[in-house]
Amino acid sequence: MDRTEKGTVRGALNIRTEGLFTPAPQPMPPTGGPRLLRWLPYLAVAAVAVFAANPGTEDISMRPVGMAREALLVLGLSWPVPAWWPSMVMLPVFSLHPPFGPYVGWAWAVHAGLLFLIALRNRPRVLGETVLLSTALLLGPQLSGDAIGPRHFIAIVLVMFALVEADAIGVRRTGEVRTRLAEQ
């Protein structure tokens, strides 16, 4: 942000929107070792996406949509916030449209994975906003009478959100401590 904008309304709006509306890539930090190992996280996440989407339903026409949904996690490795937005749009479709029923659990698990990636690469404020909006998306239909699932499913997703975020915060803080120790 430009110093002349600090303390102005425009500056406040820039601070407010820079986290959730940034299209900038946030790639994974470089890893040491052989070049092949740098691609290992991408390959592992892509394999999970294929296996998660493939057996979800007997309706073969739904499988590509499920695979596209799961592929958001691969996109999230480099662009976690931009991948989170299509996830937010797709979750109500997967949760409330019966042909996608077999993918509902995986859809929310992928969304929690995107929240994890957001937590690793963004400030706590951005994490709080994404978790708050995701929780509202989960509880909103439940409160309005359009149940996404039984109450135990909602509880499982909320616990999953909490565990993923606690883990991401722990990983991030460990990295910060290591960086400080390396500087000293």
Whether 130 contacts 84, CB under 8 Å: yes
Whether 105 contacts 70, CB under 8 Å: no
99 pLDDT exceeds 80? no
Whether 49 contacts 73, CB under 8 Å: yes
Whether 135 contacts 111, CB under 8 Å: no
* 120-155 exposure pattern, b = at least 16 Cβ within 10 A, e = fewer: bbbeeebbebbbeebeebbeebeeeeeebbeeebbe
Q: Which residue has better confidence, 159 or 34?
A: 159
Tens digits of residue pLDDT in 64-83: 777 777 788 888 888 899 99
pTM above 0.85, yes or no: no
| Predicted local distance difference test score (pLDDT) of residue 15 | 47
What percent of the chain stands above pLDDT 90?
16
DSSP string, 89-130: HHHHHHHHSGGGGGGHHHHHHHHHHHHHHHHHHS-HHHHHHH
Q: Which residue has better confidence, 88 or 71?
A: 88
Tens digits of residue pLDDT in 10-52: 554 444 456 677 777 776 666 666 777 777 777 877 777 677 6
| Predicted local distance difference test score (pLDDT) of residue 10 | 53
